[in-house]
Amino acid sequence: MKKQQESIFCKKCLYSTSHPLGLVLDSNGICTGCRVHEEKYELDWKYRFEILKKITKEYKSKNQKNYDCIIPVSGGAESYWVVHVVKNLLGLNPLLVTYNKYYNTDIGIWNLANLRIKFDCDILFQNVDPRKVKKITKQTFREFGSLYWHCIAGQTNFPVQTAIDFKVPLIIWGGHQGVEQVGMFSHLHEVEMSRRYRKDHDIMSIEADNLLSGESTLNEDDIWQYRYPEDHDLNKIGVRGIYLSNFLPWDPKVQDEKMIKQYNFRTTKLSRTFDTYEHVDCFNYMNVHDLLKLNKHGFSKVTDHACREIRHKRITRIDAEKLVKHYEQKEIEYSDIFLEWLGIDKTVFTFLLDRHKNNKYWELLDWDTKEWKFKGLSYLRRPKKETFNNKTINLIEKKNKFISTHKYRNDKNYITIGRGYP
Ligand SMILES: [Zn+2]
């Protein structure tokens, strides 16, 4: 058998050279993500904010007859921060756009409504026919182990299409994942939204048209809304998408807590991570989707959260490791709602989850009982699970507290907005 490429870990955070976005270690064993993070303490952020002001000023609508920019939003925490910066600090009049991902929680819908009211902004919803969304999701779940393809493809496409339709060329995004997680670019590169990055990293190299090939049950009519606009149309309007994280020292925890305080952004405790701010608007992101991430990549979202907190110097590497080991194997929640929504049974669901287990990180111990052994990335690091307990976890979480303001009131079905069910 061919020997799997070895994962070498960063000496500072918990990421390794197996990170799917790509990551490099320097001669001191520190990863590019950690190195680029250090820029947050080194760059002149006042100056960088002036650059942002200058860029955005040029897009201010003359005679107030149109919006100044577009902001893609969800019922998650980052949306509040971006709208706050754009509206209050940059003085722009944004059009908010949101792609209805259908896996909506009541907290997410409340957050979205509250966002629109508190900031007094217009908002556009894209509600793709749910029958199409389900057809697409059945296929991407089966073939690529992804129930999030339509969400990502929709969230990265709808704002761009709206920019063209409304002739509002500037799109303002929040954090750039490639910069934040693995230091793919320096903040100084001021990297902007691109068709290439979207394809390679956001949508796993699967363009809408790729879904039509092979044994697909989809047709043209099912996928056209996920097709990225042509260069010709983008260039005609001069569409560009910038990331605020290149111009402000990006710190999600601090930003989100300001939003809780100032605008009553609602948060909740999720079962598979300690971060109570991100993805509270979705039943699946931190559950089925997170388990699929673990199956495929050998680590889950709690590792991302832990790395971020290490870099911001709020937890130690050893405590971060304990948090990861505590949360990573927790049971997923709300899969029953997903099965009902998608119309598949539990056997198929379990079969598909197992099918996407990467044999680099999972070993099938017993074919009949389907007992698996996890040998993912945290398994290769210390400490072993036996060296800590729930009390240890509580103490770590007390030292670096994440506020949980609410519980889901409805956990029986997705909250429908817009077109909802046919
Ligand atoms: Zn690192």
Spatial distance between the Cα atoms of 152 and 140, rounded to a whole number of angstroms? 12
- For residue 156, what pLDDT band results from cuts at 50, 70 and 90? very high
Find the 259 Cα to ligand 1 centroid distance in Å: 28
Find the 288 Cα to ligand 1 centroid distance in Å: 27
pLDDT at residue 419 tops 90: no
pTM here is 0.96
Does 383 map to a domain?
yes
Which CATH number goes with the domain that contains 53?
3.40.50.620
Does 13 map to a domain?
no
Give the length of the chain: 422
Find the 238 Cα to ligand 1 centroid distance in Å: 36
Find the 27 Cα to ligand 1 centroid distance in Å: 13
Does 420 map to a domain?
no
Structure tokens at 3: 């020997």
Does 413 map to a domain?
no
Strand (E) positions, 197-350? Answer: 240-243
Model pLDDT for residues 65-75, shown as the tens digit of each residue: 899 999 999 98
Find the 246 Cα to ligand 1 centroid distance in Å: 19
Q: Are 228 and 309 found together in one domain?
A: no
Q: Are 199 and 87 found together in one domain?
A: yes
Does 76 map to a domain?
yes
Q: Are 215 and 297 found together in one domain?
A: no
Neighbouring C-alpha atoms within 13 Å toward the C-beta of 281:
26
Q: Which of 237, 112, 216 is nearest to 163 (CA)?
A: 237
Task: Identify the sign of the CA torsion 298, 394, 316, 251.
Answer: positive
User: What pLDDT is attached to residue 286?
Assistant: 98
Task: Identify the sign of the CA torsion 185, 191, 196, 199.
Answer: positive
Find the 52 Cα to ligand 1 centroid distance in Å: 28
> Residue 39 region, left (φ>0) first, then alpha (ψ -120 to 50), else beta?
alpha
Angle (CA) 17-323-298 rounded to 5° is 35
Find the 11 Cα to ligand 1 centroid distance in Å: 7
Q: Which of 261, 66, 76 is nearest to 170 (CA)?
A: 66
Q: Are 83 and 224 found together in one domain?
A: yes
User: What pLDDT is attached to residue 381?
Assistant: 81
Model pLDDT for residues 302-322, shown as the tens digit of each residue: 999 999 999 999 999 999 999
Q: Which of 344, 227, 339 is nearest to 287 (CA)?
A: 339
Find the 381 Cα to ligand 1 centroid distance in Å: 14
Mean of per-residue pLDDT scores for the chain: 94
Does 417 map to a domain?
no
Q: Are 240 and 275 found together in one domain?
A: no
Find the 34 Cα to ligand 1 centroid distance in Å: 4
Q: Are 158 and 59 found together in one domain?
A: yes
Q: Are 236 and 129 found together in one domain?
A: yes
Find the 308 Cα to ligand 1 centroid distance in Å: 9
Q: Please state whether the peptide bond connecting residue 169 to the residue before it is cis, i.e. omega within 30 degrees of 0.
A: no
User: What pLDDT is attached to residue 187?
Assistant: 98
Spatial distance between the Cα atoms of 363 and 5, rounded to a whole number of angstroms? 17
133 close to 104: Cβ distance less than 8 angstroms: no
Which residues, by Cβ under 5 Å, contact ligand 1, an ion? 10, 12-13, 31, 33-34
Q: Are 242 and 274 found together in one domain?
A: no
Range of the domain at 240: 43-246
User: What pLDDT is attached to residue 386?
Assistant: 66
- For residue 383, what pLDDT band results from cuts at 50, 70 and 90? low
pLDDT at residue 1 tops 50: no
Q: Are 114 and 225 found together in one domain?
A: yes
Domain count, the chain: 2
353 close to 292: Cβ distance less than 8 angstroms: yes
Q: Of 184-198, 301-315, 371-385, which gets the smallest average pLDDT?
A: 371-385
